[in-house]
Chain A
Amino acid sequence: MTGWLATLLIFLPVAGALVVWLVPMPRGAAGSFALLVALVEVGFWINALIRFDFERQGATPNFDQQHTWFSDLNVSYHVGFYAFSFWLAGLTVIVAAASIAYAFWAGRERPRAYFGLMLFLTGATVGVFASQDMLLFYAFFEAMLIPLYVLIGVWGGPGRMGATIKFVIYTMAGSLLMLAAVIAYGLSQDTFDLIDASQSSSGWIFLGFAVAFAVKAPIFPLHGWLPDAYRESPPEVAAMLSGVVSKAAVYGFFRICLAKFPEPFDDYRTLILTLASVGLVYGSVLAFRAQDLRGVIAYSSLAQMALITIGLFAENLAGLSGAVLQAVNHGLVSATLFLLAGAIERRAATGDLDRLGGLARGRPALATVLIATGVIALAVPGSSAFAGEFLILAGIFPWGWGWAVVGALAIVLAAMYMLRVISAVLHDRRATTADESVLDLRPAELAIVVPLLALLLALSAWPAAISDHMVENSGDIPALVELNE
């Protein structure tokens, strides 16, 4: 059964989606069925975690499964998890369960279509993290994007049209480049299998992949789709988008750019580190002046993804472990913040920071949860986010102190924008949107966000759970360097 776990994790939600779409069921049942599937999925992931062999040496992933698809091109259905991708898959199923639960609680129009899409998105994203064949990877990558177009375009806010079109154009352009790169690479290697394909030194193919992932992450200046998409989506879709889908870029950089293109990876390091550093400061500065709740979270995501990219391009144990740890942290933090933003917007009918304020008085649960998530987001020492950022910056330090100085500066900026948003929502004078009728977080909302927060706190107590459980079984990444000289 172990061999089937990866496949099961991919196709259980997809099957759930088909059931929701095809089997007639009452409106209310779609949500509860989807939630059930999402929770079962989490259960399977935990089961897989127990069976996972983190010490496995060599190139074979866990739960490896391969079936030939087009034999003449050496394309196969090949899935499996390395340790780092397994953590990203875990992030996916957990955030998906929380998002689906939130949507179920908040209620969405046309629930069967909606919940089907959410489940499909979950399965496709897990597929991205599990693929060991490039065409399969591409297929899942596209399958992940299509539900998002519809979710934003149909269930989004008033500006959803513009947001969707920008998102489509950006990601389509990225996907095209990636497809071209996949085909060029696959044909030149005579196989599309990611494990069999040998390393390449082609800068052009590397760039095709890198740009596609840079759009997905996004990395400055390719983030034009980000502010609108994060603002106009339903909050739980924004949670999936920033928390989980953006991590496909982390996976891609790690699994393809780093593992398969070590030479170009080295050649373009300075360029990408420069863009990421600029994006880190730029995103933080814009988050500091953003006028609405979601704007702050959106631009802080831009900054965080830049930081994760810096860790990946440090290409040493600390940088890579830190990047994966931080990817999981950021996924959980960003999802929690978007769901909380949704909860606040439902109550105040606005996300405008000037019109919010004073929500802390009489609403201890909201205040506690928001402050706790906020201080983890700003990487207060002792939090899991601090652990991740510390490893990333310690990893980049040997490449040049300047990168680490910029990173440290960005941490101060993060304190500035997160404290600003906490105060603007919870503190200061009481805004008109915070009158007596505005309720504290309801038990259902707490049941959704508190588990996410609890995971963050657990990771804060033991960040080595991830950072120390990903290096051995990480595929054919080049020999990694230790930190000290």
Chain B
Amino acid sequence: MITAAWICLLSPLAAALLITLGGTAWSRRATGYLATLSTAVSFGAAAVAFFALVGRDQEHRAELTTSWTWLAAGDFDVGLTLLVDPLSILMMLIVSGVGSLIVGYSIGYMDGEDEERRFFAYMAFFVFSMLLLVQGGNFLLLLVGWGLVGLSSYLLIGYHHERPSAVAAAKKAFIMNAFGDATMALAFFLLIQRTGSLEFAAGVEWAGGEDGSWAVNLVALGLLGGAVAKSAQLPLHTWLPDAMEGPTPVSALIHAATMVTAGVYLLVRFGPLFEHAPRVQDLAAGLGAITLLVAGLIALVQVDIKRVIAYSTMSQIGYMFLAAGIGAYANAMFHLMTHAFFKALLFLAAGIVIHALAGEQDMRKMGGLRGLLPRTWAAFLIGAAALSGIPPLSGFFSKDAILASGLAGGTYGQLLFVAGLVGAFLTGLYTFRMVFMVFGGEPSAYAQEHLHKPDRTEPWIWMALSVGALAVLAVIGGWIQIPGVWHPFADFLEPAVEPLFEPTGTQDAIASVLAVSVGILGIWLAWWLYSARKEPVPRARALQTLLERKFYFDETYEWVFYRPATWIARASRALIERPLIAGTLTGIAFSARRAGGEVAETQTGLVRTYAFVIATAVATLALVFVWVR
């Protein structure tokens, strides 16, 4: 099992290195196949590890293995430790499985780009980093994976590096995530001071011994900072919509299916630690609820198809945070998995639309594509319905489970439940607004003019296969767990994370009925506004502006952080560096240069000063001798 875990981890890294070192020795197409093959090997290895794990009894389903001491100073040492347990296996399967489908899709999507090799090297490196994140067996290694996925995300968002907006978005994503890395690192310093170790078990045990102390709360808060930044939750969310500058497969893999859900993984993995800091856990749930509402509202006015899906991702991760924050860990992971399926499907289908329309992403120019791209329409519809929680698609089961847990979670949980219901309504509304704008009605002038149907060549087949596979998963992915009836998924995870409570059958039923009703209400409203009524949609200007400006988060950060930093830099240079530090001696330097200028080269000024300094030195020395004696 350990061998399989190592193969799973290292196979994409090997592909990334081979592509980088091979350079032009690889044909462009070959790099795509190599990257896909390496992620498929990862998936195979993860599956082998999964079956090996299932074959064991409950108590022996976690295994730590240390290959060498990575960092050490005295008694403090941190090994290169992998952890294989149900939770990490689940993440490995999702990352490598969805990963290989999306990398395979990219063979078609990126066909003809002139820097394909770089793209596939980065993609493989991302899969490696993400696997390291989920397999890392101590806090430091987790942080390493955490940072490396941030790096690959930066590289891939900025893939089109001649586009200033893409470069700016890449930098923004990296720096906001660096904030998260920093708060996590600070939490780890506190842990080291308290326990002298960065082992998961030591941290959890220590938190248990100091239940509710301020130190535990601070550690939990530091971890939450990292989770919030990586998962684009309020208030560190503004990088995610901008990250849509990356190629669409990148958005699907990194900014929907895997990397952005790392925060949820963190909350679930350290659930036992967060439980000893209940206020921080409540904060996580609350941030999730606020994010799911705010992102849902902003999604209502977006006109870029990828940005709508990006805000929807933020919103769905809000649900997962909510679930993890109230202790419904398995439900959070369940939604993470189904979300990976249907969100990747939506992105990849959107990618086909964008390709067919010569790179256009503005939904106002689209319309009527239902007749022109029927299969894409079907796939997109499956994804949209799953996202809106329509039974029997996967999103229905996972979202309802979260809402039912909220209902069972006391007063605070019921408040969150209401937020979740409103969110479900918004989800139906913005999702089907997008569906009707893109696919409904008569073909738009732009679509008729620019549409070119995909030619059914070899690369295209890879796109179709991936979308098809994800469509199947988006339909059946939820069937492995039916709330109140059948729960092998939660049982599998139980050795790693135990839920704090279980909703009753009645609560499950109430949540399901209400959630499906408001979801359908949202869809109906979208149909009425954007399809049935042939008039412009009514709008309130102030609200519209507020939403289009995304609640002014970007502007606030610009004025609170970026501009002051720039001012401080300017002031430091103008008021301190130039006059006081670099400026000192400039006068002396210039006079010496004038003196030396008449004689040939550099020597004169140098020697003269040197002689002067040596004379001073001797004089001072003499004084020192006298003084010491």
The chain A residues found within 8 Å of chain B, CB to CB, are: 149-150, 153-154, 160-166, 168-170, 172, 175-176, 179-180, 183-184, 187-188, 221, 223-224, 227-228, 282, 285-286, 288-289, 317-318, 320-322, 358, 360-361, 364, 368, 371, 375, 380-382, 386-387, 390-391, 393-395, 397-398, 401, 404-405, 408-409, 411-412, 415-416, 419-420, 423, 426-430, 462-464, 467-468, 471, 480, 482-485
Given contacts A169-B613, A380-B148, contact A227 B71 (CB under 8 A): no
Interface contact B192-A484, CB-CB below 8 Å: yes
Interface centre among B73, B75, B147, B185 (most CB of A within 10 A): B73
Closest to B132 in A: A382
- List the B side residues contacting A288 at CB < 8 Å: 565, 569
- Report B385 CB to chain A, min CB distance, Å: 39
- List the B side residues contacting A154 at CB < 8 Å: 601-602
Beyond known contacts A175-B617, A223-B581, A382-B144: 20 more, CB 8 A cutoff: A153-B602, A161-B589, A161-B593, A162-B589, A165-B593, A165-B606, A183-B625, A184-B624, A184-B627, A358-B162, A368-B20, A380-B151, A381-B148, A391-B71, A394-B189, A419-B175, A429-B164, A462-B68, A467-B71, A483-B192
Could you list some 7 contacts between A and B, CB below 8 A?
A166-B586, A183-B621, A321-B74, A397-B189, A468-B77, A483-B74, A484-B192
A401 to B183, CA, bound (A): 12
Partner of A411, one of B178, B568, B585: B178
- List the B side residues contacting A381 at CB < 8 Å: 143-148, 150, 181
Interface contact A165-B589, CB-CB below 8 Å: yes
Residue B326 CB within 8 A of the other chain: no
Digitize B193-220: 1 where CB-to-A-CB distance is under 8 Å, 0 elsewhere.
1111100000000000000000000000
Stretch at the interface among B530-538, B539-547, B570-578: B570-578
A219 to B423, CA, bound (A): 54
Closest to A165 in B: B589
Partner of A317, one of B74, B585, B596: B74
Interface contact B189-A386, CB-CB below 8 Å: no
- List the A side residues contacting B161 at CB < 8 Å: 360-361, 423, 426-428
The chain B residues found within 8 Å of chain A, CB to CB, are: 20, 23, 68-77, 118, 140, 143-148, 150-151, 154-155, 158, 161-162, 164, 167, 170-171, 174-175, 178-179, 181-183, 185-186, 188-190, 192-197, 565-566, 568-570, 572-573, 576-577, 580-582, 584-586, 588-590, 592-593, 596, 601-602, 605-606, 609-610, 613, 616-617, 620-621, 624-625, 627-629
A164 to B140, CA, bound (A): 44
- Report A436 CB to chain B, min CB distance, Å: 15
- Report A320 CB to chain B, min CB distance, Å: 8
Closest to A185 in B: B628
Interface contact B182-A162, CB-CB below 8 Å: no
- Report B216 CB to chain A, min CB distance, Å: 15
Interface contact B158-A427, CB-CB below 8 Å: yes
- Report A477 CB to chain B, min CB distance, Å: 12
Interface contact B192-A397, CB-CB below 8 Å: yes
Interface contact A482-B186, CB-CB below 8 Å: no
- Report A383 CB to chain B, min CB distance, Å: 8
Interface contact B617-A176, CB-CB below 8 Å: yes
- List the A side residues contacting B181 at CB < 8 Å: 381, 411
Partner of B196, one of A169, A221, A380, A482: A482
Interface contact B196-A161, CB-CB below 8 Å: no
- List the A side residues contacting B171 at CB < 8 Å: 416, 419-420, 423
- Report B391 CB to chain A, min CB distance, Å: 42
Closest to B147 in A: A381
Given contacts A172-B617, A483-B192, contact A317 B76 (CB under 8 A): yes
- List the A side residues contacting B158 at CB < 8 Å: 423, 427
Interface contact A390-B577, CB-CB below 8 Å: no
Partner of A412, one of B70, B182, B568, B617: B182
Interface contact B624-A285, CB-CB below 8 Å: no
A226 to B585, CA, bound (A): 13
Interface contact B190-A397, CB-CB below 8 Å: yes
- List the A side residues contacting B77 at CB < 8 Å: 464, 468
Partner of B23, one of A364, A395, A423, A471: A364
Closest to A485 in B: B193
Given contacts A161-B593, A381-B148, A484-B195, contact A404 B186 (CB under 8 A): yes
Considering the complex of A and B, which 9 residue pairs feature the smallest CB-CB distances, nearest first?
A381-B147, A484-B196, A317-B74, A162-B589, A321-B73, A468-B72, A408-B182, A289-B569, A397-B189
- List the B side residues contacting A423 at CB < 8 Å: 158, 161, 167, 171
- Report B180 CB to chain A, min CB distance, Å: 10
Given contacts A318-B76, A364-B118, A386-B147, contact A394 B192 (CB under 8 A): yes
Partner of B179, one of A401, A405, A412: A412
- Report A108 CB to chain B, min CB distance, Å: 15
A482 to B576, CA, bound (A): 39
Interface contact B610-A166, CB-CB below 8 Å: no
Given contacts A166-B589, A380-B151, A464-B77, contact A393 B71 (CB under 8 A): no
- List the B side residues contacting A282 at CB < 8 Å: 572, 576
A358 to B605, CA, bound (A): 41
- List the A side residues contacting B147 at CB < 8 Å: 380-382, 386
Partner of A169, one of B143, B193, B588: B588
Interface contact B566-A289, CB-CB below 8 Å: yes
Given contacts A153-B606, A162-B589, A188-B628, contact A483 B148 (CB under 8 A): no
Closest to A424 in B: B167
- List the B side residues contacting A394 at CB < 8 Å: 76, 188-189, 192-193
- List the B side residues contacting A153 at CB < 8 Å: 602, 606
- List the B side residues contacting A187 at CB < 8 Å: 628-629
Interface contact B186-A285, CB-CB below 8 Å: no
Interface contact B582-A227, CB-CB below 8 Å: yes
A82 to B117, CA, bound (A): 46
- List the B side residues contacting A401 at CB < 8 Å: 186, 190
A382 to B132, CA, bound (A): 11
Closest to A299 in B: B577
A175 to B575, CA, bound (A): 29
A358 to B163, CA, bound (A): 10
A225 to B196, CA, bound (A): 41
A471 to B76, CA, bound (A): 12
Given contacts A317-B76, A464-B69, A467-B73, contact A183 B565 (CB under 8 A): no
Closest to B181 in A: A381
- List the A side residues contacting B143 at CB < 8 Å: 381
- List the A side residues contacting B148 at CB < 8 Å: 380-382
Interface contact A322-B582, CB-CB below 8 Å: no
Interface contact A464-B194, CB-CB below 8 Å: no
Interface contact A224-B585, CB-CB below 8 Å: yes
Closest to B78 in A: A464
Interface contact A162-B586, CB-CB below 8 Å: yes
Interface contact B593-A390, CB-CB below 8 Å: no
Closest to B621 in A: A179
A397 to B190, CA, bound (A): 8
Partner of B76, one of A416, A420, A483, A485: A483
- List the A side residues contacting B613 at CB < 8 Å: 168-169, 172, 176
A20 to B451, CA, bound (A): 71
- Report B219 CB to chain A, min CB distance, Å: 13
Interface contact B617-A179, CB-CB below 8 Å: yes
Given contacts A390-B185, A408-B186, A419-B174, contact A285 B565 (CB under 8 A): yes
- List the A side residues contacting B610 at CB < 8 Å: 149, 168
- List the A side residues contacting B155 at CB < 8 Å: 371
- Report B221 CB to chain A, min CB distance, Å: 13
A149 to B611, CA, bound (A): 13
- Report B170 CB to chain A, min CB distance, Å: 8
Interface contact B577-A286, CB-CB below 8 Å: yes
Partner of A464, one of B70, B146, B183, B616: B70
Interface contact B162-A404, CB-CB below 8 Å: no
Partner of A397, one of B73, B193, B196: B193
Given contacts A289-B573, A462-B70, A471-B73, contact A393 B624 (CB under 8 A): no
Interface contact B162-A428, CB-CB below 8 Å: yes
Interface contact B616-A160, CB-CB below 8 Å: no
Given contacts A183-B628, A285-B572, A484-B192, contact A165 B617 (CB under 8 A): no
